[in-house]
Amino acid sequence: MLLFSIIESAGWPIWPLLICSVVATALIIERLYQLRAKLIAPEGLLGEVLDKIDAGLPSSIDTDQLESNSPLGAILSATLKIFSAQPKAQEIVLKQEIELEGRIIAYKLERYLNAIGTIASAAPLLGLFGTVIGMIDIFGSQSGSTNNPAQLAHGISTALYNTAFGLIIAIPSLIFWRYFRTQIDFFVLTLESSSDKLLKHLLKMR
pTM, two decimal places: 0.84
Break the chain into its structural domains and give their ranges: 2-205
pLDDT tens string for the chain (206 positions)?
556 676 677 678 888 999 999 999 999 999 999 999 999 999 999 999 998 888 877 777 888 899 999 999 999 999 999 998 888 888 899 999 999 999 999 999 999 999 999 999 999 999 888 888 878 777 766 665 556 666 667 677 777 888 889 999 999 999 999 999 999 999 999 999 999 999 999 888 77
Question: What residue type is 123 in one-letter code?
Answer: A
* CA–CA dist 203, 180 (Å, integer): 34
Cα-Cα-Cα-Cα dihedral of 40, 65, 68, 189, to 10°? 40
* CA–CA dist 37, 45 (Å, integer): 12
* CA–CA dist 148, 39 (Å, integer): 59
The DSSP-derived string for 76-92 is: HHHHHHHHHH-TTS-HH
